[in-house]
Structures are given as structure tokens and as C-alpha cells.
Amino acid sequence: MSRSFLIRIRWLLYAVLLALGFVVLLQAQPQPAERLVVVLRIDGPIGPAAADFLRRGIESAHQRGARLLVLGIDTPGGLDTSMRAIVKDILAAPLPVATFVAPEGARAASAGTFIVYASHIAAMAPATTLGAATPVALIGAPGTPTPPPAPQPDQPAERPDGEVGVPERPAAAPAPPADPRAAKAISDAAAYLRSLAQLRGRNADFAEQAVLRAASLSSEEALEGGVIDVIAVDVPDLLRQIDGRTVDLANVKTVLDVAGATIETIEPDWRNRVLALLSNPMVAVALMMIGIYGLFIEFTSPGFGVPGVVGAICLLLGLYALHMLPVNWVGVGLLLLGMTLMIAEVFVPRFGVLGLGGIAAFIFGGLMLFDPEVPGLGIPPVVIVTMAVASAALIFAVGGFALRARARPTVSGTEELVGASATIFAIDAEGTWGDVRGERWRIRCDAPLAVGDRVRVAAVDGLTLVAVKQD
């Protein structure tokens, strides 16, 4: 075999290896997915976790070249701040967003209505509802009248043109709330939802009714009234119906090409799950209790370390959770006061007053901590009472142990010698000596003593026992 042939074979192998390397490199590069549709699900109250999940989902879908992001929701409402953050992310999204109220029986109430109106495509499944967007935290406030009832679905209002559906204008404007703060909040919410309706070309009159009158619509009524775009059974049916529609994306007309596209669902990651857990009001209160009791155990019995570390972490997490949630800080103060009083009960000689006051402060603080009208943020009173009773039982159990321990005689140290009997075994120039439980002690007694006398220890004075002669 000639040398030139071997050289050709070597270069051929080099070329094959180089080509294989290029192929592997091209395969390793992320390729934009063709006709990809990303689906996100938000079930439950709208809070910081839902807002963070949607923001990260929009970024991920855009990076992967998705044609559309479908946001499936089933929510009773939630926080105004989180809702506005979601609306802003949808309005600034680099790809079309379709909000789909599903599955059947789901609802997009309160904050969910704003999200539906903000989306490029609004869709609902059969037997779903939306509306009731009145700021519920203001209903029942002092001086705030209850909004008038919305028209019933079985008695649809009549339009001026004779058609049946959502009326062009409310039949009668609701009475303005007597509380100026409530009036401002309701007026702001109504204007905000109406502006979203005007942006997307949807029914603006129902938007006002949803806020001012807490009006709600079924999926059929919403489609007939121009509130939503389509009614779909599932996501593939939704994609089939909206395929070819034109949406405004950053003032640019975009035609949807999504029929038969690959559907991929993004699940919440660990960060979002932790955020959702911390957004639970009951978890926030429990973390604060664990944190305070952990620090209490560490301060009263230092050296172990674990209660202090766990308590500090839980207390910080609880405070962070309360920072994310709209809390009444008077309620937070009452909670802390209640726990402080129950802990202080252990250190006072008399039991009852501080403990009962702490229980009362804890219960009132827990009831005042969150507005129970805000969906998903109210803490059931039975949970607060259970926590208070459990804390009180723990504190009183520790106090009872302390009282029983205080009543017991001393079993260690020099104080344990008080009450013991001693026998005089020597009297010399240094003093009188007695045998106390096998130990030699100097004895001082007011009565004259002799060897063999028995005395009882009355007190300990340094290294001398003060004794009383026994008959």
C-alpha cells in the first residue's frame, strides 16, 4: 500500500469526522419549534405566584419561537396588584396571548375578568362564567352600599335595536359609594376594565357593569354580547377556530397560524411552587408562629442551635410572605402581642391573665390579618382558634411543669442539704463537726452540742451548716 494512498485515507477520515462534528453541533443548537403553542394553567386565586408564573411563561414561549401562548384560567379573583402585573405582561407580550376560561364549570371572576379582557384572544369553554369584577374588599366597608344586582341570565336585557343580549348602556347607574376611597377604587377599576375593552374592541358597557354592578355572564351570553371571541371545548378546538384570525401585536397586524400546531404545557417550577406556598395566608401565619417559638426555645435553652436556626428562617419567610400579601398591620401587631403574652405567661409566678390576654389578642389579630372578602386570602376562624388553643395548651403545659418543678424539693446542690439530719461525731478547737449523708461538715448551733447528738440542718452558710438540735 503506497504512502500517498494512506495520506488520502487519513484526510478522508478527517473530513468524515469534521462532517460528523458539524452535524452534532447543529443538532445541539436549539431550533425554533415550528408551529408551537405553549399552554399555561392558573387555577385558584390570582396572587404573586400566578403573576410570576405568567411572566416567566411568556419569556420561555418567546425564546422557543411559539406562535401563541394559551393561558387557561379558573379563578375566583385575587389581588389587584398581581392582576395588574399580569395585564401589563399580556399587553407587552412579544407573542399573541389567548386566555381560555376552562374546563367546563370554570370561572374568570373579579381579577380573571380583567385578564380575559386584556388578552388578544378571549375564549371560554361551555358552562363557564366571567364577570363580578367589583373590588370585593370594598363591599361592606363603612359607608359603602351594596352594589345593585346584575340582570339575571334568564331575563336578558333588550338593546335599543331590538336584539337581545348585553345592553348598550346600564339601565340605571348605581348609587355612588358614600366612602370616597371606595368610590375612587370602584371608579378606577371600571375605567381600567373599560380601557382594556376599548383596546381589544370588546363590549365596554358590560365591562362597566361587571365592576359597578358585579354583573356576570355565561359563555353563551358573553359570546353573543361581544365580550369574548370564541367558545371552545378544549385547546385543539380553540386553535382550530382562531386559526387565520388577525390580532394587533405591538401595533402590528399578526395572522394566527396555529391550526394543528404542536401543543406543549409548561408546568410551574420549584421556584413558583415555593412562591405559591408562601402566598398562602395560613402558611404565612404558621411560619411566623414556628419562628417565634423556635427563637424562644433557643433563648431559654441556648447551646443546641437547631431551634434558633429553624426559628430565624421560618420567621423571615413568614415576614416575606406577609410582605407579598395585603395584610392589616394592626392584625400583625395583635398576633405578635398575643404570642408574646402567651410566652411571657411561662415566666410569671401566677398563671391566667397574660395567657388569656394573649389568646384573645392572637384570635383578634388573626381575624383582622386578611380581608376575608378577597378570594383566596381569608383565613377560616376555626384555623385561627385552633392555632390559638394549641399555642395556649403548649404554654400552659410548660407553665404547669414549671410550677410542679418549683414545688418539688431541691435534689442537687448545697440547698439540697436543708432539712437533712446530721450526727455530731467530733468537737475540737476548730469547731463542731457532723456527719451529713456520709460527708463531713462544720456545724453551728445555738444549743450546746455533744458527740452523738443529732441535729437538723436549717440553712447553709458557705461551708458551715446552721443546725437545730433534735430531741
Confidence of residue 48 (pLDDT cuts 50, 70, 90): confident
Q: Which of 334, 292, 326, 286 is closest to 312 using CA atoms?
A: 292
Give me the pLDDT at residue 351, please: 59
Q: Which of 381, 378, 364, 372 is closest to 284 using CA atoms?
A: 378
pLDDT in tens, 206-253: 999 999 998 999 999 999 999 999 999 999 999 999 999 999 887 788
pLDDT in tens, 356-390: 788 888 888 877 776 655 555 667 777 777 877 88
Please state which of the ranges 174-178, 343-347, 385-389, 413-417 shows the lowest mean pLDDT.
174-178
Instruction: Give 431's strand partners.
Output: 428
Domain ranges of the chain: 1-29, 36-271, 280-407, 414-469
pLDDT in tens, 297-336: 777 776 667 888 888 888 888 877 776 676 677 777 888 8
Region of 177 (left: φ > 0; alpha: ψ -120 to 50; beta: rest) is: beta
Q: Which residue has the cell 404565612?
A: 284
| CA–CA distance, 314 with 153 (Å, rounded to integer) | 48
| CA–CA distance, 244 with 257 (Å, rounded to integer) | 6
Position 79 pLDDT exceeds 60: yes
Answer CATH for 36-271 from 3.60.15.10, 3.40.50.300, 3.90.226.10, 3.40.109.10 = 3.90.226.10
Q: Is there a contact between 33 and 66 (Cβ–Cβ < 8 Å)?
A: yes
Q: Is there a contact between 280 and 376 (Cβ–Cβ < 8 Å)?
A: no
Give me the pLDDT at residue 27, please: 56
Class of domain 414-469: mainly beta
Give me the pLDDT at residue 299, please: 75
378 vs 55, more confident? 55
| CA–CA distance, 119 with 113 (Å, rounded to integer) | 10
Alpha helices in 175-234 (DSSP H): 180-200, 204-212, 219-224
pLDDT in tens, 133-181: 887 553 333 334 444 444 444 444 444 444 444 444 444 445 555 567 7
pTM of the full structure: 0.64
| CA–CA distance, 155 with 207 (Å, rounded to integer) | 19
Give me the pLDDT at residue 33, please: 45
